[in-house]
């Protein structure tokens, strides 16, 4: 005779339970004392054993479903025996994403190490999905981006843009201003005010989402075990079933004589905290960080020289964008020396630094400046994390993850600049943080680099998403190109004189948008249209058939799409 399997009551306050996992399938033999299924409650996960021998005839409450205590959830009997199905248990679907983490206290707990754009976003998203979240941050919320990176740099660049606009185009557009001056201390005060407001906002969001914050540094002492060190030196240990590492990156040091411990050799952090505008600056590195700061200080009146070891600047951008940007920066007075390797830095008694370089032809070159900005890249900030003790696989400190942001240690995730193989961008970290949190909380979320834009806030600003023409050619893709010059766009003409362009790379057979590249006013805002087009596998026909408002820079996106088909209205279709 078949025997009912009941949802057990495992405590005075328990009224219902969630079936976590069936250890046996319908039709399989069961022995008394074998684990038959697991039950999850708000606090516990328990194994439930079979009371009798037999065959699991019927499961009435599937994994992930909820039943009241003492209700029938299955039947055990003899092979071929029928059971009464007329009275199924009172079952309701659990909340899906929350179910997988509503286990015991440890499994419901998510630790996030790092409060930057990857960490705080991951913490908030996990809290939204029902997790109890602890955020560990040793310095300041918002990380490099908010405090010593993206936001303060853009504050400088915004002031630089206003200053340059008045000085170079003010009279032309009818806004003549005599003796326009830069108030550098006030500029820095404004920068600090903006960063502080955003940091306070993040703290409020964490509090609103009931995220616990601990001010401490963290290091592994064993897999999933972190030792926390407070500012006063006190130590404690914390562990959880799920950990998200979001420790970001730090500036790479220049390994040449004279650079170390030289107060006039600064990194991006130093460039954002100068007390006055230097008369001259050598920028070592032709990437995003170096050139953004080069543009800012050139606008402030600094004589800027850029030294780059390779034969090109801004390698992440399409070459047509780089050409426009380089030409404009040269008009600003910025000098470029490519294929030029730094050998050493010498200081003289007047406080001037001499940067000694070697050209590609082997000749020695020397550049003098008050300040030397070293911007040769960033590396994962994992040295103090003790990844080896945590068992975390890495490549010279860069954590290895899959597209779910999982490391090799089950339950441990990593996001942002500290992982290997992805763009080191704030929005990359935030997207990864959401992916990690969602996977921890039972969803199937994956990070896709395909729609990740690159934004460069040089003058004029540039943005890129998807394939460049160089990559499409290298991969042998049969593609076509549409270009629209911004000198033919009314809004661009009044904003910056029409400097810049929009470029679209499309598959020749189907017209699918493969890449979009913009340099000019509003480029970093407009690039979202390109990212969405790629995400939706849109074609140039679909961009063309979408009406774009006038007068806007966005009209140029449609015109570039039309130029792919040689039907642009406001430019020649060569």
Interatomic CA distance for residues 137 and 152, integer angstroms = 20
Interatomic CA distance for residues 178 and 526, integer angstroms = 34
At residue 108, the 3 state secondary structure works out as: coil
Is residue 517 annotated as a catalytic residue, yes or no?
no
Selecting among 109, 312, 361, 550, the annotated active-site residue is 550
Interatomic CA distance for residues 541 and 561, integer angstroms = 8
Kindly give the interhelix angle for 184-208 and 119-128, rounded to the nearest 10 degrees. Answer: 30
- For residue 299, is it left (φ>0), alpha (ψ between -120 and 50) or beta? alpha
Radius of gyration (Cα) for the chain, nearest Å? 30
At residue 134, the 3 state secondary structure works out as: strand
Interatomic CA distance for residues 146 and 430, integer angstroms = 13
Q: Are the CB atoms for 246 and 416 separated by under 8 Å?
A: yes
Query: What does the block give as tokens for 76?
Result: 């055990």
Element (H, E) at 168: helix 150-169
Q: Which of 507, 422, 496 is nearest to 459 (CA)?
A: 496
Q: Which alpha helices (DSSP H) does 272-375 contain, by range?
A: 288-299, 319-331
Query: What does the block give as tokens for 39?
Result: 């039950």
For the CA atoms of 264, 268, 270, 275, the dihedral, rounded to the nearest 10 degrees, stands at 100
Give the active site residues: 550
């Amino acid at each position: 005779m078949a025997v009912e399997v009941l949802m057990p009551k495992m405590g005075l306050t328990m009224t219902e339970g969630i079936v976590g996992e069936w250890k046996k399938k319908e039709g399989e033999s069961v022995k008394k004392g074998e684990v038959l299924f697991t039950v999850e409650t708000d606090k516990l996960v328990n194994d439930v054993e079979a009371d009798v021998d037999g065959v699991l005839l019927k499961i009435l409450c599937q994994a992930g479903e909820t039943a009241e205590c003492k209700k029938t959830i299955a039947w055990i009997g003899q092979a071929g025996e029928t059971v009464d199905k007329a009275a199924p248990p009172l079952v309701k679907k659990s909340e899906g994403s929350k179910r997988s983490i509503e286990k015991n206290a440890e499994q419901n707990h998510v630790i996030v190490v790092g409060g930057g754009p990857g960490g705080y976003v991951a913490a908030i998203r996990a809290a939204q999905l029902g997790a109890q979240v602890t955020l560990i941050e040793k310095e300041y919320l918002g990380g490099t981006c908010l405090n010593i990176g993206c936001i303060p740099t853009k504050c400088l660049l915004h002031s630089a843009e206003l200053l340059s606009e008045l000085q170079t185009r003010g009279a032309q557009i009818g806004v003549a201003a005599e003796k326009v001056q830069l108030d550098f201390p006030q500029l820095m005060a404004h920068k600090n005010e903006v960063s502080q407001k955003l940091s306070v906002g993040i703290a409020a969001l964490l509090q609103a989402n009931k995220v616990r914050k601990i001010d401490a540094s963290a290091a592994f002492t064993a897999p999933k075990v972190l030792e926390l060190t407070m500012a006063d030196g006190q130590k404690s240990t914390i562990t959880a079933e799920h950990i998200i590492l979001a420790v970001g990156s730090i500036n790479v040091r220049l390994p040449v004589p004279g650079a170390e411990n030289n107060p006039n050799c600064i990194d991006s952090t130093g460039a954002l905290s100068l007390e006055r505008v230097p008369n001259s600056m050598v920028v070592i590195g032709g990437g995003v960080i170096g050139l953004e700061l080069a543009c800012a200080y050139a606008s402030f009146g600094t004589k800027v020289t850029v030294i780059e070891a390779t034969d090109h600047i801004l390698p992440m951008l399409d070459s047509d964008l780089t050409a426009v940007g380089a030409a404009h920066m040269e008009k600003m007075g910025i000098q470029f020396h490519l294929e030029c390797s730094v050998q050493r830095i010498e200081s003289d008694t007047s406080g001037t630094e001499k940067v000694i370089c070697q050209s590609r032809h082997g000749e020695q070159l020397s550049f003098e400046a008050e300040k030397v900005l070293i911007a040769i890249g960033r590396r994962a900030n994992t040295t103090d994390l003790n990844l080896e003790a945590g068992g975390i696989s890495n490549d010279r400190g860069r954590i290895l993850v899959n597209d779910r942001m999982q490391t090799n240690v089950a339950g441990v995730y990593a996001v942002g600049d500290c992982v290997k193989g992805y763009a080191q961008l704030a929005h990359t970290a935030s997207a990864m943080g959401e992916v990690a949190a969602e996977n921890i909380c039972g969803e199937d979320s994956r990070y896709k680099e395909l729609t990740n834009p690159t934004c460069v806030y040089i003058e004029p600003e540039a943005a890129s998403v998807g394939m460049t023409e160089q990559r499409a050619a290298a991969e042998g893709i049969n593609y076509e190109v549409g270009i629209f010059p911004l000198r033919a766009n009314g809004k661009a003409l009044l904003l910056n004189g029409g400097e810049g362009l929009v470029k679209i790379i499309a598959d020749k057979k189907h017209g699918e948008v493969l890449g979009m590249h913009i340099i000019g006013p509003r480029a970093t805002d407009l690039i979202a249209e390109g990212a969405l087009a790629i995400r939706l596998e849109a074609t140039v026909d679909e961009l063309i058939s979408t009406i774009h408002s006038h007068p806007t820079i966005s009209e140029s996106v449609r015109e570039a799409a039309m130029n792919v088909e040689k039907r642009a209205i406001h430019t020649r279709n060569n």
